[in-house]
Structure 1
Amino acid sequence: MTEVHRIEAVVFDVLGTMVDESGGLRAAMREAVPAAEEASVDRLLDVWQEHVEREQRRIAGNVRPYVNSQVIDREAAERVAGCVGLTDAAALDRLATAGQRMKPWGDSLAGLARLSERFPVLALSNASRASLLRLNAHTGLRWHQALSAEDVRAYKPAPEVYRLALDAAGSPPERVLMVAAHAWDLRGAQAVGMRTAYVQRPVGDPPRRSDSFTFRSSGLEELAAVLAVV
């Protein structure tokens, strides 16, 4: 029996893997600050991402009680607003919800549809339940089930987040494939025994030389083709 035949469910990271997270944040910042030059947008993006990463680490280290992604995104938006003197409440609210309006990568919809014909497909995201709901509606991504890390009050790569997907799939970890553009995410999945597929995106966390994932592909179409082999 081949490796492909033993896969019973496919789990996808969403932010960065299925949607252009960095591009969406950049677009939201340009909308909020139309006069900002690209270098300024780059700095604002760094401010946002550094805040999100720092707060998720603090939560993982029990330095801060759990709050969902909407709270952290609002904080990040307020930091960005403080850097540029943005005081308009409506503009700040829209910036804070930028994560709900990301664009899917060019192969995301077709690749997901193709894979869903053969496997149960699940989303597993650090985005809050409400944000994930609105993002899926905005993008047209269609899952058999969409899971938020909010359900276990943790953030990937905490093992309980991946176990949430394993429980939903009802399969042993070695028969569940985690797909992501972030090597750190796949390492977290490997830690609970899941199989892994790295999908290359323009942004993300590329593998190290020491990483050994079950599959590597240039996009979802290539991955779907590999998994379609009988």
Structure 2
Amino acid sequence: MAKASDIEVVVFDILGTMVDEPGGLRAAIRHALPASDEASVEMLLTMWQEHVHHEQQRIADGSHAYASTEVIDRKAAQRVAGRAGLTDPAAIERLATAGQRLKPWGDSLAGLARLARRFPVLGLSNASRAALLRLNAYAGLRWHQALSAEDARAYKPAPEVYQLATDAAGCPPERVLMVAAHAWDLRGAQAMGMRTAYVHRPVGDPPQKTDTFNWRSDTLDELVTVLTAT
């Protein structure tokens, strides 16, 4: 069984784990389309999410050249605008950058600060470099280093993205802990030899019975308490 003393560096997924990505996109759609009812907002949010997933899958299987999240999000915003009849260019552009204005979960900032007093902490996100810079500033997330999948020209769970984190950590992967609210993300890290910790979030991808992550926590605060206990 893994112990906190086995860990040298902690790596966090950001979208969904540290910030409420669906909630932020939902709020941006409501702001752009104030006359829309909740059912319409949810339909448009689903359209956005499906577009992003589809494009990232095409990149993963080699059927499409790499495109950053800024490019993918702009197309998603245009699709949402087209379906909703939104034509104001400024409103569409603001919608396209909604992923740079996502609120942290209630325990994210304090939990990250507590953990950073014990371990080097890295953020590892599918967000582009420019989007990640603005997102971290907006949400108030303070990392020792923030890494973008753009540097690997791939998206998690591609192994080369996790390689960015282990290279930055400068230690064997089994001494690097990946924290995420998405079981698919942790499986990708696990395949690279990293330790794994699942943190429950309302928007995450919960583990299956067959998953064998090193830690499972209901809150980030709970995980931090375990990792920083002496």
In the superposition, the TM-score normalised over structure 2's length comes to 0.99
Shift of 1:3: 1.5
Residue 28 of structure 2 corresponds to 28
Matches within 5 A, 1:82-97: 82-97=82-97
> What residue ranges of structure 2 are gaps of 5+ in the alignment?
none
Q: 1:156: which partner in 2?
A: 156
Q: Is the 8 A contact 2:126 2:149 kept in 1?
A: yes
SS in 1 for 2:222: helix
Instruction: Name the counterpart of 1:187.
Output: 187
Name 1:18's counterpart in structure 2.
Answer: 18
Partner of 1:209: 209
- The residue aligned with 2:98 is 98
Aligned length: 230
Q: CA deviation at 1:200?
A: 0.2
> Hey, what does 1:125 align to over in structure 2?
125
Which residue matches 1:39?
39
Amino acid at match of 2:181: A
How many Å separate the matches in 1 of 2:206 and 2:79? 28
Where do 5+ consecutive residues of structure 1 fail to align? Answer: none
Report deviation, 1:204: 1.1
CA distance in 2, matches of 1:139, 1:52: 22
SS at match of 2:74: helix
Task: Report the secondary structure of 1:72's partner residue.
Answer: helix
Alignment partners' CA distance in 2, 1:117 and 1:124: 19
Q: Secondary structure at the match of 1:179?
A: strand
Regions of 4+ moved over 3 Å = none
Q: How far has the Cα of 1:2 moved from its partner? A: 6.3
Tell me the CA shift for residue 229 of structure 1.
1.9
Aligned mates of 2:82, 2:16 — CA distance in 1: 26
RMSD of Structure 2 on Structure 1 (CA):
0.9
Q: 1:116 and 2:105 equivalent?
A: no
Give the distance between the partners of 1:196 and 1:79, measured in 2 at CA: 36
> Take 2:92 and 2:153, find their aligned partners in 1: how far apart are those partners?
26
Q: Tell me the TM-score normalized by structure 1.
A: 0.99
For 1:212 and 1:83, the matched residues in 2 are separated by 42
Match of 2:8 in 1: 8
Distance 1:6 1:201 in 2: 25
Identity %: 73
Contact 2:2 2:214 in 1 (8 A): no
In the alignment, the residues of structure 2 paired with residue 229 and residue 93 of structure 1 have an alpha-carbon distance, to the nearest angstrom, of 46
